[in-house]
């Protein structure tokens, strides 16, 4: 990473961080050195932000789709122009390396999703058009959107929330995670160079601020990505204002490797399906069920990759895995792997911290010969540890995969395309991938079932999710 990128990141920080002695210190995920100070906004400041967003919304909607598209494309260009500085800040704050499917990848996704939001057309629907009646369904802005983001993909998921919202004429009040506020506020500062005042406002605060955002009477739509437990609290908080909700919550994604699969052909994709962003991805592969016939080969292939993949400080251009982002998540991964060991599971590789790299580094871990009822299988680890469960009966594998109360994503792996498609239909999840896991496309709707939330993002369905419908009904054609 060049000195110019570090300087660009420092300039972005100067624009958004709290003054010396104020705010909350944010550490570098890898080194634990202080990066900067995040503002800590109060509930009163949130109320003011919502009032300003509400006042700005009618004029923003009145600009029309064409003008909003023009501005969103300018914003996408601005993100690209600032990508290196933002990636540098993101890598330090979140921990993900610059290269691989990480920080630079995330910045590229931000501008790509914005451009897709701008290009996507949501047409009104003619419902009846005859001699007696013409009825049409139209889509209008919901109003003020409250966007509450996570710490694992803080910039990309923020764009997933605010891009379609702005496209449809909503204004947005965005609250980043307390763990990764600096990079999000910097992204919003770049975006606001091209947006009218108060159309997009960032609020950095604690849980009290988040609860108020969900419950505020002038919030018309909540978009939240995070844990199922927090999602449930948002549902409760929003009962008073009846805000519409899009909730992308926790997952414990299962993958099933079917008999006869060519392991060499899938090993790299299996690994990255589980270990993208050091396993800190809602729709990452969290549990892998492998048939007896290929079990040992799969375990050996994954262990070989895990043992050789470069891990360390994200600013090192050679690394592609980084630390856990925070101590709480590091402790969860450690607890679950230690529990698996105590149950007699076999650690094919990893299984321990890597203190020589830094405080929150954990070695990429493949856990074999583990029972399905182990905590590492039944709980979402959200880190670099993959349990591989042996099965002999395919029907049993699907029963085990579907037995949890979440259903964000899932995958099936096979050298037989027809068998794979048949198998995919048996998985209880919002998305099922074949011979891959976790890949997303800005035009393909994404959302969970069961306790993984509800509502769809991306594409035409994503625009609909941040709109309200109106039926206009009138006289039909004359005979």
Encoding tokens for residue 147?
A: 């966007």
Q: How many CB atoms lie within 10 A of CB 460?
A: 16
Question: Which tokens hold the place of 153?
Answer: 């993909």
Q: Which helix (H) or strand (E) holds 25?
A: strand 24-27
Yes or no: say if 56 and 170 are a contact pair by the CB < 8 Å rule.
no
CA distances, 47 to each of 44, 173, 212 (Å): 5, 10, 9
Residues listed for the chain: 479
* 248 counts as catalytic: yes
Long-range contacts (CB closer than 8 Å, 24 or more residues apart) made by 40-47: 40/204, 40/205, 40/206, 41/203, 41/204, 41/205, 41/209, 42/205, 42/209, 43/205, 43/208, 43/209, 43/212, 45/203, 45/205, 46/173, 46/203, 46/205, 46/209, 46/212, 46/213, 46/216, 47/212, 47/216
| CB-side neighbour CA atoms (13 Å) of 375 | 13
Give the sign of the dihedral formed by CA 166, CA 169, CA 171, CA 177: negative
Catalytic residue chosen out of the listed positions 93, 106, 248, 380: 248
Quote the CA–CA distance of 161 and 177 in Å, as a whole number: 14
Spatial CA neighbour of 145 closest among 199, 72, 78, 206: 199
Residues annotated as catalytic are: 248
């Amino acid at each position: 990473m060049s000195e110019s990128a570090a300087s660009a990141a420092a300039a972005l920080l100067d624009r958004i961080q709290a003054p010396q002695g104020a705010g909350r210190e944010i550490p570098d995920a890898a080194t634990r050195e202080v990066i900067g100070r995040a503002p800590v906004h109060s509930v009163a400041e949130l109320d003011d932000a919502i009032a300003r967003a509400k006042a700005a919304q009618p004029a923003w909607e009145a600009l029309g789709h064409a003008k909003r598209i023009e501005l969103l494309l300018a914003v996408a260009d601005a993100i690209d122009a600032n990508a290196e500085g933002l990636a540098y800040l993101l890598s330090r704050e979140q921990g993900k390396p610059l290269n691989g499917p990480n920080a630079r990848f995330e910045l590229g996704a931000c501008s790509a999703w914005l451009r897709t939001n701008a290009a996507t057309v949501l047409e009104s629907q003619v419902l009846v058009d005859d001699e007696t009646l013409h009825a049409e369904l139209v889509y209008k802005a919901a109003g003020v959107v409250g966007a509450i983001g996570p710490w694992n993909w803080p910039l990309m998921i923020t764009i997933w929330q605010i891009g379609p919202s702005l496209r449809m004429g909503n204004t947005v009040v965005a609250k980043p995670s307390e763990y990764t506020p600096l990079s999000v506020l910097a992204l919003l500062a770049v975006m606001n160079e091209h947006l009218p005042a108060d159309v997009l406002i960032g609020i950095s605060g604690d849980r009290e601020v988040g609860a108020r955002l969900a419950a505020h009477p002038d919030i018309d739509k909540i978009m939240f990505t995070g844990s199922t437990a927090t999602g449930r609290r948002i549902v409760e908080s929003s009962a008073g204002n009846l805000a519409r909700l899009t909730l992308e919550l926790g997952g414990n994604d299962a993958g099933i490797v079917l008999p006869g699969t060519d392991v060499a052909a899938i090993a790299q994709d299996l690994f990255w399906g589980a270990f993208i962003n050091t396993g800190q991805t809602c729709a990452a592969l969290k549990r892998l069920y492998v048939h007896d016939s290929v079990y040992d080969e799969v375990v050996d292939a994954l262990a070989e990759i895990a043992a050789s993949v470069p891990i360390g400080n994200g600013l090192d251009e050679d690394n592609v895995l980084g630390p856990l982002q925070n101590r709480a998540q590091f402790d969860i991964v450690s607890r679950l792997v230690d529990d698996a060991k105590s149950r007699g599971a076999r650690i094919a590789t990893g299984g321990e911290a890597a203190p020589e790299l830094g405080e929150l580094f954990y070695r990429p871990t493949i856990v074999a010969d583990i029972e399905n009822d182990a905590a590492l299988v039944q709980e979402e680890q959200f880190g670099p540890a993959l349990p591989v469960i042996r099965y002999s009966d395919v029907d049993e594998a699907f029963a085990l995969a579907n037995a949890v109360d979440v259903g964000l994503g899932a995958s099936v792996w096979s050298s037989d395309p027809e068998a794979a498609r048949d198998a995919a239909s048996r998985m209880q999840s919002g998305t099922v991938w074949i011979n891959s896991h976790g890949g997303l496309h800005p035009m393909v709707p994404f959302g969970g079932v069961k306790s993984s939330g509800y509502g769809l993002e991306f594409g035409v369905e994503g625009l609909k999710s941040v709109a309200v419908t109106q039926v206009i009904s009138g006289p039909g054609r004359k005979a």
